[in-house]
Amino acid sequence: MQAPANPSPLPSLDALLRSPEAAVLLERFGRHATNAALRATLAARRAARAFPASATTLLDEAADTLARQFTASQRPVFNLTGTVLHTNLGRAPLPPEAAAAAAEALRSATTLEFDLATGRRGERDDHVAPLLCRITGAEAATVVNNNAAAVLLVLNTFALGRQVPVSRGELIEIGGAFRIPDIMARAGAVLREVGTTNRTHARDYQAAIGPETALLMRVHPSNYAIAGFTAVVATAELAGIAHAAGLPLVEDLGSGSLVDLAAWGLPHEPTPHESLAAGADLVTFSGDKLLGGPQAGLVVGHAELIKRINANPMKRALRLDKARLAALEHVLRLYLDPDRLRDRLPVLRLLTRPDTEIRATADRLLPRLRDAFPDRPVAVEPCRSQIGSGALPVDLLPSAALTIGGNALESLAVTLRALPRPVIGRIATGRLWLDCRCLEPDEEPVFLAQLPAHG
C-alpha cells in the first residue's frame, strides 16, 4: 500500500484534545493550561523535526510539563545537611502552633491594627513589643522585616549624613549581600573604620569621635572568629565611651539568643538582655536564627530612641505582615515558660538533641536505606552538626549521620532531591552524609515511606 502523498507527521491539537488521556489533563489542570501545554509540545516537536510521534507520547510529554507547572516551587524538604539554621533552607522551623497562628491570620480579618477595648485603631507592633520588653528587660521594642532591615533603619534614623565608627574587626559580610560597609552606605551613614582587624582599643574609638559622630556601633562577628593576638572593647566599656560623648551605643547581635544557651550545655551566645545591661542603648537581632521564630528583625532599647525609629518613614516600608507577627507573638510567649521551652521550641530541641538519640534515629533508618540502595555501602557514622546562620561558627555539635558511599555521588544526591519530600544531604570524603539531627522521630515515617522500594 502506498503512503498518502503528504502524511501529517504529528496528530492535530483537536485530535489530541479528543482523547481520553486529554480528558484527564483537562479535568486536573483546566482548559487553558492543557491547551497551552499541548500546543507547546507540538511546536517543540515541529521545531526540532522530531516526528513522527504518537498521540500517547505527546500527551505524556504535555502531562509532564503540566505536572511541573503545577508543582509548588517552594516545598518542604528534609534538612539533613547538618546545619540546623540553614539560611537557604529557610532557617528556624516554627512550632506547629505558631505556624497555625500564622495560617489563621492569613485566612481571616484580625486585630492587626485594631484595639478591641476601645474599638479604635491600634498599633501592629503592640502584639509583640510588650513581650519583647518583658523577655529582654528593654524599655521599648520595634520589629521589622529582618535584622538587615533593623540595622538599616537604625542607621538611617540616627546617622543619616553623619559618621559611625566601627571596629575593622567587625566589618562583616553575612551570606548574600549583607555587608556592614554597604548597609552603612545605603542607610546614608558614613562608616568610620577604627582599630585594626585583630585589635581595636578604647583609644581608637575615642580618637574617632568628633562633631560628625552620630553613634557608636558594635557588630557581633557572628560567622567567624578572630583568634590569637586580639583585643576588643567590651560592650560596657564602649557604652561608657559613647555616653561620655553624649552618643548612643547600638549593638547588632545577629543571632541574639533570648536565653542563655549555656543552660542547655550549648556554647554561650550574647543575649540582648546582657547587651542592654552592659549599657547598649539599642540592640538588633534576627527573629529566625537562635530565637526560633519567623523571619523578622527585632530592635530593643530606650523608649525615646525606639520612638524615633518608628517615626522614620522607612519603618512603613520595612514593617512585618500579620502572619509573621502572629507567629512571632506565639513564639515569644513560649519564652515566658522557660521550663518547657526546650520541648516546645523546635530550634532549641534540635540544637540540644543528644547524639545518642540522633544515633538511634540513624540506626532505625539504616535497614530501609540499605534496602533502597543495595549496590552501595550504607552506614551510620558519627559527625558534627553546625548551628548555622552565623551563630557560634566554631562550635560544632556531636551528631550521627547515615552515610552512603559508592560512585556517582552527585547522581545519588539528585535522586534524593527528586523524592516527593526532597532529602538534602552533603557530600564529603567520598560519601553522601545525611545528618539525622533535624530528622525528628515523628517525621521518620514520611522519610521512610518515600524511599525507593528495594533496589
Ligand X SMILES: *Cc1c(COP(=O)(O)O)cnc(C)c1O
Question: What minimum distance in Å lies between the beta carbon of 283 and ligand X?
Answer: 11
Q: Which residue is nearest to ligand X (CB)?
A: 254
φ, ψ of residue 202 to 5 degrees: the values are -55, -40
Question: What minimum distance in Å lies between the beta carbon of 39 and ligand X?
Answer: 43
Question: What minimum distance in Å lies between the beta carbon of 316 and ligand X?
Answer: 18
Query: Which of 286, 310, 399, 403 touches ligand X by CB under 6 A?
Result: 286
Pick the piece of the chain touching ligand X (CB under 6 A) from 107-115, 158-166, 170-178, 304-312.
170-178
Do β-strands 378-388 and 297-301 pair in parallel, antiparallel, or remain unpaired? unpaired
Residue type, 272: P
CB 75 within 8 A of CB 422: yes
Can you tell me which residue has the cell 520612638?
Answer: 307
Q: How many residues interact with ligand X (rule CB under 6 A)?
A: 16
Pick the piece of the chain touching ligand X (CB under 6 A) from 142-150, 210-218, 369-377, 435-443.
142-150
CB 373 within 8 A of CB 451: no
Query: Which of 147, 167, 200, 399 touches ligand X by CB under 6 A?
Result: 147
Query: With binding defined as CB under 6 A, does residue 297 bind ligand X?
Result: yes
Query: HSE of 361 in the Cβ direction (CA atoms, 13 Å)?
Result: 26
Q: Which is nearer to ligand X, 195 or 294 (CB)?
A: 294
CB 294 within 8 A of CB 288: yes
Question: What minimum distance in Å lies between the beta carbon of 177 and ligand X?
Answer: 10
Cell (9 digits) for 195 = 582599630
* Separation CA 45–CA 40 (nearest Å): 9
Q: Hey, is 286 helix, strand or coil?
A: strand
Q: Which is nearer to ligand X, 193 or 444 (CB)?
A: 193
Number of residues in the chain: 455
Pick the piece of the chain touching ligand X (CB under 6 A) from 49-57, 143-151, 263-271, 430-438.
143-151
Query: With binding defined as CB under 6 A, does residue 310 bind ligand X?
Result: no
Question: What minimum distance in Å lies between the beta carbon of 219 and ligand X?
Answer: 5
Restricting to residues 214-273, name those near ligand X by CB under 6 A: 219-220, 222, 252, 254-255
Question: What minimum distance in Å lies between the beta carbon of 224 and ligand X?
Answer: 10
Quickly count: other Cβ atoms within 10 Å of residue 104's Cβ.
Answer: 12
Restricting to residues 44-103, name those near ligand X by CB under 6 A: none
| 350 contact partners, CB below 8 Å, separation of at least 6 | 84, 93, 437, 438, 440
Q: Which is nearer to ligand X, 157 or 286 (CB)?
A: 286
Query: Which of 92, 148, 184, 397 touches ligand X by CB under 6 A?
Result: 148
Query: Which of 34, 35, 41, 146 touches ligand X by CB under 6 A?
Result: 146
Provide the β-strand partners of residue 14.
Answer: none
Query: With binding defined as CB under 6 A, does residue 388 bind ligand X?
Result: no
CB 128 within 8 A of CB 328: yes
| 40 contact partners, CB below 8 Å, separation of at least 6 | 62, 65
Q: Site residues (CB under 6 A) for ligand X?
A: 146-148, 151, 172, 174, 178, 219-220, 222, 252, 254-255, 286, 297, 390
